[in-house]
Structure formats: C-alpha cells, structure tokens
C-alpha cells in the first residue's frame, strides 16, 4: 500500500505535482495522462527515487524520506528503457547483481538466478552479453532482476512503450501473472481497462481517480477536447 499525503514536487522551483493525495491499495493501479503531465515523477515519488518537496509518501507505512531504506526494500521499479536498468555485462551476472545485498551464499544466488532464467526462457542466454538480447528479452531481464529481490509492490513506468506487439504481449502476460501489487504508467488504454483503478494525471494534478471505465472516459475527453 502506498499513501500519498498532500504531495507536491518541484524541479528547480517549477511545480510539477500539486498537492496530490491518494491511498493506493488495489492490486492493479494505472497512471495515465498526457506527456509531461507528471506521471513519471509520481511513479518515482512512490518508490523514493524522488522525495516530495512538500507532503509525505508512505510505503507500507514507511516514510520514503525518514525511513528510506525500509520503504525502498518493499518497492521494485522498472523503467521504460531496459538498456539503462541492466547494469552487469552478462545476463546471469545482472540477475546475481540484484542479490548482492541479500547476504546469500554464492550457491544460493546461483540457484535463484537459474530459477529466474528458466521462468523467462533466458537459460540459453545465461552468459551472453546483455546488449545482444532482443528488446523484449532485455525488458524480461530487467523485470526478472527486480522480481528476484521479492518486492511487495512493483512500479512500472511505460514498460512496453519501446516494444513491438509480440514482445508487448509477452511482457503484459508476465506482469498480469504477478502476485504483487502493481502500479503502472501506461498509454495503452486497452490494457488499462483491465485494471482495478485508474488515476488520470493532468498538469500535476489527479483529475480523475476511478474505475477504468469512468476514469478513461475523463482522460479521453480531456485529451481529445
């Protein structure tokens, strides 16, 4: 559960979010809105990557400012571009990298890495350079590297925007199968219509917070005039 309490955010004194409040508890929550409306900023605030200029963000009760480590340990974050998220040169090394802080033994880490490689059909790419994977495989790797740390909440910022249709469906199936709470920024209205709750962001404010049907209606009307 993520609680936003009167959250405002400014970049260089330019307000980007204005007094946003919401309790995010549903299993599947979508964020939608025009380019530059503040969706990514909101997503980053939910993780603690950014801290609010005013107000508070609580992740399962942990304040992202005062209790940062505890808050972050509960949330995984997947960016739009997997190329920045993959840090180690090869596929298996990148998954193992996620488990470095876990204090697990080498054998345990290697066993978990193999497990996740198997789940996402990456076994044959184990020792391959990450940059030679396809776009879809890179995003799978980026997601696996987040899930391997067992976060309770996963935030996705446009995870399928750079992918072709086939890979998009693959990634969507993976996300749909997650047990975790998901907060996702997306422009895919078909996809969002399956969610439990949609927040429509417009010029730094939430102008609708409702079921997909009602919220997406507001979004369409705002976007198309």
Q: What residues line the site for ligand ADP (CB under 6 A)?
A: 11, 16, 33, 35-41
CA atoms within 13 A on the CB side of 59: 28
Give me 209's structure tokens. Answer: 């917070």
Q: At which residue do the structure tokens 């249709």 appear?
A: 165
DSSP state of 16: E
- Judged by beta carbon, residue 184 or residue 192, the one nearer another protein is 184
- Judged by beta carbon, residue 36 or residue 129, the one nearer ligand ADP is 36
3-state secondary structure of 147: helix
Which residues in 37-66 contact Mg ion (CB under 5 A)? Answer: 40
Residues engaged in binding another protein (CB under 8 A) = 9-12, 47-53, 64-66, 68-69, 72, 76-77, 79, 81, 83-90, 93, 96-98, 100-101, 127, 129-131, 145-146, 149
| Least spacing, CB of residue 33 vs ligand ADP, in Å | 6
* Torsion sign across C-alpha atoms 17, 22, 27, 33: negative
- Judged by beta carbon, residue 79 or residue 116, the one nearer Mg ion is 79
3-state secondary structure of 62: strand
* Cα distance between residue 211 and residue 190, in whole Å: 14
- Judged by beta carbon, residue 46 or residue 208, the one nearer another protein is 46
Closest residue to Mg ion: CB criterion: 40
49 binds, among ligand ADP, another protein, Mg ion, none (CB under 5 to 8 A by kind): another protein
Measured N-to-C along each axis, helices 135-147 and 106-119 cross at an angle, to the nearest 10 degrees, of: 140
Which run of H or E residues covers position 7?
strand 2-11
The reply on whether position 160 binds Mg ion by CB under 5 A is: no
| Least spacing, CB of residue 106 vs another protein, in Å | 10
């Amino acid at each position: 559960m993520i609680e936003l309490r009167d959250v405002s955010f400014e970049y260089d004194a330019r307000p980007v979010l204005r007094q946003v409040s919401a309790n995010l508890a549903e299993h599947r929550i979508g964020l939608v809105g025009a380019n530059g409306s503040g969706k990514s900023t909101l997503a980053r605030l939910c993780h603690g990557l950014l801290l609010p200029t005013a107000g508070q963000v609580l992740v399962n009760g942990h304040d992202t400012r005062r209790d940062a480590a505890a808050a972050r340990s509960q949330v995984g974050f997947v960016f739009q571009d997997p190329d920045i998220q993959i840090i180690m040169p090869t596929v298996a090394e990148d998954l193992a990298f996620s488990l470095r802080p876990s204090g697990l033994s080498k054998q345990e880490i290697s066993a978990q890495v193999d497990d996740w490689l198997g789940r996402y059909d990456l076994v044959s790419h184990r020792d391959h350079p990450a940059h030679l994977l396809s776009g879809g495989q890179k995003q799978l790797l980026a997601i696996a590297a987040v899930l391997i740390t067992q976060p309770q909440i996963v935030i996705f910022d446009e995870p399928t925007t750079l992918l072709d249709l086939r890979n998009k469906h693959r990634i969507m199936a993976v996300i749909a199968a997650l047990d975790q709470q998901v907060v996702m920024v997306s422009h895919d209205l078909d996809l969002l219509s399956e969610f439990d709750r949609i927040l429509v962001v417009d010029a730094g404010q939430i102008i609708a917070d409702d079921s997909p049907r009602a919220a997406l209606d507001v979004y369409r009307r705002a976007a198309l005039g």
